[in-house]
Structure 1
Amino acid sequence: MTESHSSLPEPEPLPREDFEGINGEHHLTPDALAAQESIATIASLQSPQNKTALQQAHSQIQQYTVTKFTVKPRALVLTVVAIAITGVGLIINNWVIGLLGTLMTLALSLTMLLPWWQYVVQQWFSSQDRTLFVASVGLIVGIIGLFQFTSLGDRLQLWVKQIGWEASGTLAEWFGALGQISIAIVAVYVAWRQYVISKDLTIQQNLLTVQQNIITQQQTIDSYFQGVSDLVLDEEGLLEDWPQERAIAEGRTAAIFSSVDGSGKAKIIRFLSRSKLLTPLKRDRRLGRAILDGMGGYEEDRLDGVRVIDLGVMLAAADLSSNDLRWTDLSEANLVRANLSNCDLVKANLARTILYSANLRGADLNGTRFFYGSVATASPRSRNEVPNYETGEYTGAVVENADFSDVQRLPEITRQYCCAWGGEKTRATIPGGCEGIPNKLGR
């Protein structure tokens, strides 16, 4: 492999015979020979690690070799002479001369045709096909020999003689009926397979439709994100929302909530919340513009602040189950009869949120805010009373008739608040029970 191509030894000349190729010699075609010489040249420059790859390439080239065989003129002359001897024997009706010419003709013809037959068999029949053919012939010969050289043949003949052939007509009718039944079974099977294939195609079409709907919904949500951003931000990226702009933003939000599923709603809520568009911001009393807090953000004002987008009743009875709502600001939103089961509500703000008859089964409530201030003085929101964010009065969520079954990581102060202000139906679903906690709701 490390020697140069010029140092390769010269090939020895092949022995000449009357019938070349009889011993299975193979000669490469010009294209294959050129390719093999190229591989040999490359091999002289390659490292030992590539030896395996070069051997595989060499084996692939061997697949394109063609068996060549040539016949010398002397063999052709001998064959013609043998044919002539056979003809003479036939003409003079001499069996000795005819038999001699016939044997010579057969021998010479078979010798010339043998390489071609070998080539045809190798090209048209694989080793597996040849094996199956020989095995099939062997099976047939074996069965014939089994019946011929054992008593099975005699027993079969005896059994055939004992058959009442007068009943053959009835037997034919039975076979005819059996054939009709078989055809009916095949027809039922074909119909069933068509139904299965049609059902599979329908399922695949439905999956494609669902995927297309998901793509379309995501495009709609992206367009909404861009539209709201362009609407509420000025050229410098500051929040310069005016009353009409806020009204249009709320209208867009209400419209898109009605056209997306729960996952789409959760994405929109996360976008609006992290963009501080759901948070009440402190504003200039004259211009109404949001005021910076001096730390790179906007200052919040829970009591008198104005939200860019007020969700209001947009999410009432909405299905948000099994979605990610972490760190979202849903304060003061109306979530009456909303489905929040199995939602991730870690660090979410639900203060003053209406959760009347809401379903929070299996939700993760670790760090979720339900009220401000102390649990001893906190109370649910009121239509007529102003909330006190220091003591917690009227800052709490409305949790009456809510379902807290199997909620995860429920904080102790949240459990106490929900037991105190949830009513009897809510108290019955809170993990850990409400024993020793008075029902301040009174119903």
Structure 2
Amino acid sequence: MAIHSNSPETGSASGGDKPPADITLVESPPNRTNGKTKGDGLAQENSLSQLGAVTVDAADWAAPGITTLSGLASGSPVKAPIRPEVLVVNRRLTVFAVILGAVCLLLLGLLIGNFWFELAGSVTALFISVKILWNPIRRTTLQWAAEPESAVVVATVGGFISLLGVLKLLGGDRLLTYWYNQLNWDAVGALGEVFGALGQILIAVLAVYIAWRQYVIEKDLTIQQNTITQQQTIDSYFQGISELVLDEEGLLEDWPQERAIAEGRTAAILGSVDAGGKAKVIRFLSCARLLTPLKRDQRLGRAILDGTGGYEEDREFGVRVIDVGVMLAGADLSATDLRWTDLSEANLIRGNLSYCDLVKTNFSRTILAHASLRGADLNGTRFFYGRAEDASPRSRTVPPDYQTGECTGAVIEQADFSDASHMSPEQRYYCCAWGGTTTRSTVPGGCEGIPNKLGR
């Protein structure tokens, strides 16, 4: 072990000399050449150039537990210096011990009634506690003072105290004392009971309101869930009908049993959905031409193409893929969108079509007796074929004539057309002529000059 000093003089700690400011400890391994060890001076130089130096500060030498320079020279081991963290912990433990001792001294003084013990313990504990707490309190106060809200808090407290001072200077305390002495405490107690009863009533009202709001929220959630479930049911119905009546190439291939199953599914879905769901189903079936009478091959029964990309329509002898029949009797379809739908020959007796959008809807040979069309949009709605003067309602015995319009019209006896919009002169003539007395009184524009062909 070699010792090199950066100072010109080195001394022994036992001789009273000060420890060196910087002492380098170098451990030089033996350098062997051809199996022999070179001199110590050469080993020291090689060690300095290859291994580096370990520096020990004077402060570390001054710490307890460090051996003297003579001990280093004699080859004694060097103890590790005490770390700053350990010193901090030791200092804290000392402070804790002093405070605890001061508190114990104070308690002892209280027990034995010694004034000087109490004074010494109190002053010592208070002094050390304030010294320790001063920096955290100061730092916290400065941080809080830097916040914008601190000024508001200080201003509020100061304003309140200053207001009390102003009231004190103006004699407000004497006025409050006078009012306090003049109070009828029996009346105040009765008033308190009244306010207590009012508070209980308000709590009961609040509980009722909370229960009502909870009911409304649960109802809305139930409606939303039902709407989602209904839409999923309708989508499944659409998919099932499409797979039932179409072949692998997407062409219409509906046999009698398939048509019967399709009608059964339609009847079931129309009976389980609301007005909006019914309107969606009707629009889907009508746009897919599943409600329109199609011309059929007399031998195979398959629908015939019209040569323009669609299926040919045959009002007299055609067969519908789905015949709604009485599925919509008494149905509620109010305020729904039924534009461009084919509801011909359907039974809508006592149906509710109020405020519906019936633009271009086909009602030829439809039973609309006792139905409500109040406020409906009848722009382009078809009630008959041919001329209005020659058209007549459907008949159970006479086949329809789509050229003249005989027996092609809708049955509108006792139907309600109040506030219906966009009714054409032809529609008004037919409704007045074949609606009867009750229907004539509801037709917009009146039926003056139009004969009552129904006779009742």
Higher relative CO (Cα under 8 Å, sequence separation at least 6) belongs to 1
In structure 1, what is the equivalent of residue 392 of structure 2?
379
Q: Distance in 2 between matches of 1:277 and 1:155?
A: 91
CA separation of 1:255 and 1:153: change in aligned 2, threshold 3 A: closer
Alignment partner for residue 123 of structure 1, among 140, 143, 147? 143
Q: In 1, Cα distance between the equivalents of 2:354 and 2:434?
A: 20
* RMSD of aligned alpha carbons: 2.4
Q: What is the aligned partner in structure 1 of residue 313 from structure 2?
A: 300
1:388-426 Cα offsets, whole Å, 9 max, x none, are: 010100000111111111111111111111111111111
| Residue deviations 1:217-261 (CA, integer Å, cap 9, x gap) | 000001011111111111111111011110111111111111000
Counterpart of 2:223? Answer: 210
Q: CA deviation at 1:200?
A: 0.8
Name the CA distance, whole Å, in 1 between partners of 2:166 and 2:238. Answer: 86
> C-alpha displacement at 1:356, in angstroms?
0.3
**Counterpart of 2:168 in structure 1: which amino acid?**
F
Change (3 A) 1:152 1:212: closer
SS at match of 1:390: coil
Deviations 1:36-59 (A, max 9, x none): xxxxxxxxxxxxxxxxxxxxxxxx
How many residues in Structure 1 have an aligned counterpart in Structure 2?
327
Secondary structure at 1:120 match in 2: helix
Aligned to 2:433: 420
Is 1:433 matched with 2:441? no
> Does 1:247 pair with 2:260?
yes
Distance of aligned partners of 1:359 and 1:292 in 2 relative to their CA distance in 1, 3 Å threshold:
same
Superposed CA offset, 1:278-325 (max 9, x none): 000110111111111111111111001100111110001101011100
The alignment partner of 1:119 has SS state of helix
Partner SS, residue 213 of structure 2:
helix
> How is 1:199-238 mapped onto 2 (pairs within 5 angstroms)?
199-238=212-251
Letter aligned with residue 205 of structure 1: E
Whichever residue aligns with residue 353 of structure 2, its letter is L
Shift in Å, 1:178: 2.8
Q: Counterpart of 1:147 in structure 2: which amino acid? A: K
2:334 is matched with 321
Asked if 1:396 corresponds to 2:416, the answer is no
Q: Residues of 1 paired with 2:259 and 2:133: CA distance?
A: 96
Q: 2:285 aligns with which of 255, 272, 276?
A: 272
Cα distance in 1 for residues equivalent to 2:312 and 2:266: 24
Q: Deviations over 1:77-126 (max 9, x none)?
A: xxxxxxxxxxxxxxxxxxxxxxxxxxxxx9xx99x998865532243464
Change (3 A) 1:394 1:135: closer
Q: How does 1:115-154 map to 2 (within 5 A)?
A: 118-124=138-144, 126-148=147-169, 150=170
Structure 1 residues without counterparts, runs of 5 or longer: 1-105
Partners of 2:175 and 2:281 lie apart in 1 by 87
Match of 1:284 among 297, 307, 327: 297
Q: Which amino acid aligns with 1:343?
A: C
Question: Aligned letter for 1:137?
Answer: G
Q: How far apart are the structure 1 equivalents of 2:176 and 2:296?
A: 109
Q: Give distance in 2, aligned partners of 1:367 and 1:138.
A: 77
Match of 1:334 in 2: 347
TM-score (norm 2): 0.67
Contact 2:361 2:382 (8 Å CA) reproduced = yes
1:352 corresponds, among 350, 361, 365, to 365
SS of equivalent to 1:299: coil
In the superposition, relative to structure 1, how do residues 216 and 174 fare at CA in structure 2: closer, same or farther (>3 Å)?
same
* Secondary structure of the structure 1 residue equivalent to 2:293: coil
For 2:274, the equivalent position in structure 1 comes to 261
CA-CA distance at 1:188 after TM superposition: 1.7
- Sort the Cα spacing of 1:388 and 1:155 in 2 relative to 1 into closer, same or farther, 3 A: closer
Matching residue's letter, 1:186: G
* Distance change (3 Å), C-alpha of 1:314 and 1:175: same
Larger Rg: 2
Structure 2: stretches of 5+ with no match in the other structure: 1-126
CA contact (8 A) 2:368 2:410 kept: yes
Q: Distance in 2 between matches of 1:134 and 1:305?
A: 90
| Cα offsets for 1:9-56 (capped at 9, x unmatched) | xxxxxxxxxxxxxxxxxxxxxxxxxxxxxxxxxxxxxxxxxxxxxxxx
The list of structure 1 runs, each at least 4 consecutive aligned residues, that deviate by more than 4 angstroms after superposition, is 112-118, 150-157
- With 172-181 and 286-295 compared, the bigger mean Cα shift is at 172-181
Contact map agreement 2:144 2:150 (CA 8 A) in 1: no
8 Å CA contact 2:283–2:338 kept in 1: the answer is yes
Q: Secondary structure at the match of 1:231?
A: helix
2:383 paired residue among 359, 370, 373: 370
Q: How does 1:27-106 map to 2 (within 5 A)?
A: none
2:158 counterpart letter in structure 1: V
Does the 8 A contact of 2:340 with 2:360 survive in 1? Answer: yes
**Inter-CA distance 154–320: structure 2 relative to 1 (3 Å threshold):** closer
